[in-house]
Structure formats: C-alpha cells, structure tokens
Copies of this chain bind each other. A is one copy, B any other.
C-alpha cells in the first residue's frame, strides 16, 4: 500500500448514537460527504450492525475487533469469517479499549488476511507502533490512549509521537499505511495529521458525538483536499 490515498476511518464504538438504525443513518451521511468530496472514508460499526451498514453503503466497513481464533467450537467469539460474511472489508485489531496479547495480535492479522479483511492494528506508542508493524498488517493506527476522547488532537498536542511513530514504523516496514487518532475533532487536526506523514486518521467521539456529524466529516474532507 505505497502512497495510499488519504483515509478517514470513523469508529462507532458502542455509542448509542451509532447503534442499530442510527449506525446505518450515520454511515449514509458519512458516505454522502465522502462521495461529494471524493475523499475516501470508512466506518467501523458494532458487530451486530455490520450487515445492515454494509448492505446500505458502498464505503469500506470495518469490524472493531476480531478474536484470534479460527471458526469452530468457540461460543461468543468473533471470527474473521463471520465479519467477512456480514459484508465487512476490514477490521480494527488491538484497539486500546480492546487490547490483545502480543501473540493474538499477530494471529489476528494472519486470520484477517486469510479471510480477505484489511487489518488496522492500533498501538499507543511509537515503539509499539513499530512492533505491530512487524506483523505486516495493512494499516497501523497510532493512538495514544491518554488523548482518546479528549478533543485534544494527537496531531497537535503530541505531534512528536506521530513523527516518531512514522520514523520507527518505516525502519521495519516500508509499505504499511499509517493512520493516527485520539482527540481528532477539527479539519485542522486532520490537516496536521496528514502533514506529519500519516495516511489519514481514526476518529470516534469527534464525529459520532458531534451535533452534526456530517459537518465535522465535511471539514475533515476539506482538510484532506488541501493536501492532495
């Protein structure tokens, strides 16, 4: 994925504002802005909403997590094949709110690959971003947990962690795409993130909890267009 086009990925978490029908509605709004601006956007709804979201929009749909187990006798787990069958294109792995054992991260990337899912592995520090890049996922997302949900954007509060992550990732993996996240809430935050050498952003509350999510996404897309 060398020189991938900028990508804005919206994580729906388990917010009520993005559950059930509202997950579908929000996805449609996000898709509309993506289409009108030509900027690549994607959504990560809850497991139960993947099927309906994927049936209603053409933008990439991601699961928020997969377990590192193959299909079989594992009640209550989320296997890559199930996520894929529901229409997802990819999955987050190791989000700081759903951290995995080291071995399981590596295994989950492999299982995602086998199932044809794009893998986005999250990491909270520059060093860990490089560590997960060794598993050769499609995308690494750097998100310092201490800034998540704060509205203080990683790309402006702590630009060093982003540049350091990019540097350390590139030492061990020349092709993985890089997102950054945590606290992103304005077009300026997105612009700063791209300027720091990332390929886009991962965002949740900044969009989902906004009074008018479509306006936030529109400001994000405008920021992307200023760069490309």
Contacts and interface: CB of A to CB of B under 8 A. Distances in A.
Query: Chain A interface residue count: which class?
Result: 35 or more
Copies of this chain: 4
Given A19-B85, A82-B49, A76 B103 contact: no
Interface string A94-126: 111111111101100000000000000001110
Given A13-B74, A172-B172, A82 B204 contact: no
Given A14-B71, A46-B78, A132 B102 contact: yes
Nearest to A172: B172
A198 B17 CA distance: 41
A84 to B, nearest CB: 8
A86 B135 contact: no
B149 A73 contact: yes
Interface string A56-73: 000000011100010111
Contact of A102 (B46, B47, B86, B105): B105
Contacts of A185: none
B75 A98 contact: yes
Contacts of A123: 102
A132 B125 CA distance: 14
Contacts of A127: 106, 134-135
A168 B82 CA distance: 34
A161 interface: no
B100 A128 contact: no
A106 B79 CA distance: 26
Contacts of A132: 102, 131
A167 interface: no
A15 B135 CA distance: 27
A166 interface: no
A205 interface: yes
A11 interface: yes
B103 A73 contact: no
Contacts of A88: 48
